[in-house]
Amino acid sequence: MSVTVMKAFMRRFAKDESGISAVEYGLLAAGIAVGIWSIMSGVGDSLGDIFTAVSEDLSTAATEAGGA
């Protein structure tokens, strides 16, 4: 390739913005995924605590009622 052709190619490549939106969408999707993951992680911990408390309460009630 000649230098002129290479310069023209580099100019066209520098002006081409079609790939920019794909990168932006990728970053947006990654940000949303991190947000959902952090919210679900907190909700999962809370649900685990609730189920543990209910299980303990049911075991106590069953013991007091004469069950196993």
pLDDT digits (tens, 9 = 90+) for 13-54: 778 766 667 788 889 999 999 999 988 887 888 888 899 999
pLDDT band at 67; cut points 50, 70, 90 = low
Residue ranges in the chain assigned as alpha helix (H): 3-15, 18-64
Does the pTM of the predicted model rise above 0.85? Answer: no
Joined together, the tokens standing for residue 15 give 């002006």
Cα 43 from Cα 68, distance rounded (Å):
31
